[in-house]
Structure 1
């Protein structure tokens, strides 16, 4: 609905009678955002407008409401939503809570986790909030297709409503592959980190050429310059966990952004930059203690791509954490060479309850690893997994099947190499060309090779059921401890057959 001029009588959505509106205030916004005085008779109004839209019966027909002038103090209504999709683990609502904390001082924010909802159910939840702006997180390349479907449906359902919200999308998937989302109806894409750019959108709307924004303009798609990264990270507010749904036992925490490495298959540096930026140890320890004391967190998952990028920082964090209180377990991801950079690092991490670590190996073929920018030796991986076992840390190795440069001979050695490295369990994933990465050139974006998909399933089954893996896990179960609990769970799952595509 268009703005109602000053001193004109317009419709109030929550009343059967009209209401006096002030400049630039839309009827829908006024209905949700301003406080009204006591009802007064219609006869006392000096001007009347066109009352054509029916309203709810909440006050007598011979009365009206005069709203106090709200415009300058009024906050825009922002809905941040994780759209419907099949999602193994939901990082989306956490990233939205981080954004919400950065803008809630200038916007009335609602956070919706629609992961398990139908598209229609999700759209109804959005429209029930009568938003001015809808922000949609697209977590990965795999999320783009379902996000496009949601954007398209939301756009269609709001085209004929009095107030059409601005639809924006962001996150790793949107940043890497914005065009399908724009074509589906998104007003703009927020690429890269979103805190500063979202503030700009709330304050100024969609302005082509704005830093961090991709949108359509008169000359086609316009991509603004990259937004300056947040620095230092401690200036960010803590995530708005009060807006998040129940995390179902696992609390996410971000302790750093970016990566100092330049692996050719990874999009991390394309999203957050090559400069690795940490939260201070005191900030990290404070948030972990808050999660334990105020939220009763038992499991905390550190969302960093490489938690151990600065081993000295990790040592400081761990020594402070050891003073308590601690959760039952902390989950993390790190590179093998960083974990071995200090002789006592893994022991200190274990004493701080960091008892499950995922190590990205990608490939153990020396030639392919060097080409990918991650030339770490097989002996290094074997040593880091040995030390993790010694300190009761459950180890997960992540492999990519089909990296460019991988020869058929090297592929066939994947299982042998993985068994020699001896992680507690391993995940083999098909190579997925990601837009903007060097390895995406000449490949079909977002679609893995069917042979890579099949071999990944074969390798997963083979490794998990191999007698050396099973024996190692049974020994862990016998010793007890946290590693033993994880080993028992993996043994139970290993009895399930992973179907071949």
Structure 2
């Protein structure tokens, strides 16, 4: 069989507006894992990946060349229309092709895709095992009724939803992503996160045990937290070093350092292998799982940046969104991060439910009072499957049957449309203005400017930082 996995066209200009030219362009990690899993279990199948973010070839030309038996498309909420259009093109070329859609949005709202005549089946949740079973059943002309974790058309119009698949605890059974199927050198991160010229990306754990109201991942992973073994992680890093000569590694876990003992052991192994001299790395973690021992070990192991989801500078709002942290914890942890010499990048959310303008300004002032190196102020955005989505519907801010999916943007302040959600008594226009000003004024402060000047080690560094600053100022003024 011939299989084509597709990351559909993504209108980054619509999603990020004036910041599009400095936005992140990540490889489609989910597709890379699925491709590797298929290659491991069905080596005779021909598997290709088409990533519209970086692909130079026309999609229709690729379809004409491969004539795939199965096309799998990944779908986030902002890509619903793009996914449906991609499915339409596939069916026009070869109607008997099986079109499968997966990803976060497909998992939570399969009907949005299956209502189209061009989508045959949806894979819900983590896709490796389910996708393999679907493809095998299709090849053998067997029904899908016994496959866990799928939704599909059963007859002319009816949609069947099979039971969820049990989440696999053995992450080591999954091979490393099939990086050879994408042009890895074409992906990029934003200038404020750039600490190297050759980027690698790795996932060392899956899931998050916490319950934040704005996050949909907890529904997909059932709030489980599963770890890859350290030897498995090291094997993948060695591949990056040998084949891609990376000098920056992004640990793309939902929540790094939840397991303290394992985190310390992983850092010790990094030191033992001399990794700090070969690359620096970035991870995302919660303030309540970090302490001085862990942070010192991470710094010694080569960690250069920690990304923190701080969300608000108001304790009432932190409790409301079920963040389960305190402002005191936040300040103490950020100060320790600064003390050990790791750069800190924090995200905050403006426009949370019931948030007043005074509380928004309190969040901005709180962010400015911390010894942070980078921030991102986003606008509260109700994604399907989250409690925030339910609140937005209850408050009459959105109609799930008529929503424009392309407007689900965290960076709505820089776009040409108003945010989908705003608290009662506030306006989308006010939130856009607050977001733009809060982001710009943070980076205009002398100590932040000086920090970026000290990061300049080459002409490429200078160009990257100047480019990022230029587009931030331009997007704010526009």
Shorter-chain TM band: 0.7 to 0.9
2:36 is the counterpart of 1:101: yes
Match of 2:86 in 1: 150
Match of 1:449 in 2: 421
- Structure-1 separation of matches of 2:109 and 2:148: 17
TM-aligned CA distance change 1:292 to 1:242, over 3 Å:
same
- Choose which of 91, 116, 123 in structure 2 pairs with 1:190: 123
- Structure-1 separation of matches of 2:432 and 2:31: 32
Match of 1:312 in 2: 261
CA contact (8 A) 1:169 1:188 kept: yes
2:64 is the counterpart of 1:131: no
Match of 1:39 in 2: none
2:258 is the counterpart of 1:346: no
- Structure-1 separation of matches of 2:223 and 2:383: 17
- Choose which of 245, 270, 286 in structure 2 pairs with 1:335: 286
- Structure-2 separation of matches of 1:260 and 1:85: 30
Match of 1:493 in 2: 468
SS in structure 1 of the partner of residue 349 of structure 2: strand
SS in structure 2 of the partner of residue 320 of structure 1: helix
Number of equivalent positions: 415
CA contact (8 A) 1:430 1:452 kept: no
**Matches for 1:246-395 after TM superposition, within 5 Å:** 246-248=184-186, 249-326=198-275, 327-340=278-291, 343-395=292-344
- Choose which of 202, 205, 211 in structure 1 pairs with 2:135: 202
CA contact (8 A) 2:205 2:253 kept: yes
Residue 315 of structure 1 deviates from its aligned partner by: 1.0
Match of 2:167 in 1: 229
SS in structure 2 of the partner of residue 207 of structure 1: coil
- Structure-2 separation of matches of 1:146 and 1:489: 30
SS in structure 2 of the partner of residue 308 of structure 1: coil
- Choose which of 20, 24, 33 in structure 2 pairs with 1:89: 24
- Structure-2 separation of matches of 1:389 and 1:316: 23
- Structure-2 separation of matches of 1:154 and 1:464: 43
Q: Which moved more, 1:145-154 or 1:221-230?
A: 145-154
- Choose which of 245, 248, 251 in structure 1 pairs with 2:183: 245
**RMSD, aligned CA:** 2.7
SS in structure 2 of the partner of residue 361 of structure 1: strand
CA contact (8 A) 1:85 1:116 kept: no
Give the number of the structure whose residues are more often helix, by fraction: 2
Match of 1:461 in 2: 437
Residue 92 of structure 1 deviates from its aligned partner by: 4.7
2:3 is the counterpart of 1:78: yes
Match of 1:211 in 2: 148
Match of 2:411 in 1: none
List alignment gaps of at least 5 residues for structure 2. 13-22, 187-197, 409-419
User: 1:251-284: CA deviations, max 9, x gaps?
Assistant: 2111111111111210111122211001012222
CA contact (8 A) 1:465 1:494 kept: no
SS in structure 1 of the partner of residue 272 of structure 2: coil
Match of 1:428 in 2: 377
Match of 1:476 in 2: 451
User: 1:383-405: CA deviations, max 9, x gaps?
Assistant: 22222223332211111222223
List alignment gaps of at least 5 residues for structure 1. 1-75
- Structure-2 separation of matches of 1:279 and 1:457: 43
TM-aligned CA distance change 1:437 to 1:453, over 3 Å:
farther
Match of 1:175 in 2: 107
User: 1:205-231: CA deviations, max 9, x gaps?
Assistant: 361463111122247222111111122
- Structure-1 separation of matches of 2:204 and 2:124: 21
SS in structure 1 of the partner of residue 147 of structure 2: coil
- The structure with higher relative contact order (CA 8 Å, sep 6+) is 2
- Structure-1 separation of matches of 2:36 and 2:119: 23
Max radius of gyration: which structure? Answer: 1
- Structure-2 separation of matches of 1:488 and 1:396: 21
CA contact (8 A) 2:349 2:379 kept: yes
- Structure-2 separation of matches of 1:454 and 1:145: 28
TM-aligned CA distance change 1:247 to 1:488, over 3 Å:
closer
Tell me the TM-score normalised to structure 2 length: 0.79
TM-aligned CA distance change 1:311 to 1:143, over 3 Å:
farther
